[in-house]
A and B are shown apart, each in its own frame.
Chain A
């Protein structure tokens, strides 16, 4: 049985251990990102792997981005019209839809959708490579596994996320037009005039920067969770990969929202 002293100090010890583990994990993740990013700048390009991941993260996410973008815009159109009709400003619906999408919802929702589709796959694939010693095999072949596995995914994400976000925004604006203007019997030219009038380059660039950062966040966290699956304390082997994939998705979604808040506060 534990001594009373041990019982008293247990919460403090547990807090200390938790804090140390937290700091260690974030330190490891930062170094992981730095190594991956440095490899983009300083090592031989990997064009084939980059194109493969660009196709996987970008082109293959297109359908889900089109679908979610369209319905997000349509909901915004409906809700916006309902709210604006209360104060007789229905003609500003284009402003509401475009600014919400371009500044906020486009980058965030596109990033979350890509996390669910491609981020989870990155974590699972790299996690399986770790538990089946494929990553060790790369090291023994004198191949840097961070450069080989993470760098092309990071670069592909940084390029694909702004493009997917732009498509999400565009389809969303069209969806908003459909429900907030056309279905309500309004003239769509008024809608697009409001979009053009109220959206500035700063708004577009803000959304673009967010998408860039989210691309780096998603690929880093998802690849990191898979890469270090062997260090997890909540399961080994297949169970470890499953919990790493879950953590990757949950943590990435949370970090997207946290990063969104920080970026918004800087970009406002």
Chain B
């Protein structure tokens, strides 16, 4: 039971080792023909004090990775380092990592305060310290009045706060959150997203958050890892992930996307000159030194394209307006292109506005600068 307590304070003298470093982690379930790779050779570095999100559809391996970090499962191959210490084979009670469970898993036979003090008691902390910390934690999650309630008498949002306080009380080096907001209703979820981010800033603890909700991931994260089928497809800031998706899966999983076929004319440094289906040429930034060739797929976000009336030469694409969807904050225009695919643009609504377009009208689409992003696959 030594070395289990994180200091939680940033060391300013030397650069800190990564909070979590996963090296070529593979996790297989079952054997022989029934063998399923839940994680397939995943490597990942999560920095100290980061709000890091594992994002992906269900079954992509994000929860498996979380369970491996927590110690509930052991990797089939590879290693997981917690601040330079290999923890892959340690049982969960010897890792300075705490978890907020999806269904909270609060102890039903204990009060709120007892739930929060459980971890501290197990660590053998002195009584005064436990009392003070429980008080601090109750204040942190604004639950002071309910300290002596039984946990089954609490609402979902309150249980959520207790689960957070319980996991934060021992000041773990890393806090794992397994879709903790999925059981809450929409409004509460929005509030908790802001609160969670605030909590992470206040405590300075590294948060690893698992979700399938792209909006949630974009709202809270410092960085996001997008996962699918046991692999990490892209790691980056929310802005990078949204503006420069690495491949078609990432582009379609996060936000709405238009996929268009383009021809690469030339590449100069990290910029590519592309020819659109209409014959127009645009310049596209490349994320790294990768050189695309020939016909490739590119993505254009609906809000990065603007609709203009008429099929003049000034547009990047021409088509017929097929459908207008009014969404309150903005309006979506579905345009049928000459190659029979649909292209969607979105523009923010202004007040006192009347619809400027009508169905069946010939229209052009004008791309904003750097709107076209070439995809690797």
Asked if A and B are interacting partners, one says no
